[in-house]
Structure 1
């Protein structure tokens, strides 16, 4: 895992805590806390993207630039 460390948490323990699927991990003081997320990941992104498109503010933030050796690629 590179420079990270892994922890295996038994699935039955997560199920007992109701932490199946996505979880939120935060540091509180000297503790690592796992909990159900307040909202789902990417919740509201589709609606926010549509609003940006509706007002024409959905252009690229970074200008397009090619990587070296991209010339022969078909996009």
Structure 2
């Protein structure tokens, strides 16, 4: 497939056909990599919520889970049915 360079301000660019954009999932930001054969254009895939899993694991490691404390509160027999309002 041949195309022409077009002037874009003080630079030059190319227009990619819609079919190629869809086929290679090129939307928004792309990565340009020079190779021996020419220029490789790749889609940039940004992971949503990047790094959340690592931060969550760090937070868990800093403090042990409060499961024992919660069970103590709920297993307390001092609460009586008379304290409920119906």
Please give the range of the TM-score, normalised by the shorter of the 2 chains. 0.3 to 0.5
Say which structure, 1 or 2, has more relative contact order (CA 8 Å, 6+ apart).
1
TM norm structure 2: 0.37
Q: Report which of the two has the higher share of helix.
A: 2
TM norm structure 1: 0.41
Q: Report which of the two has the higher share of strand.
A: 2
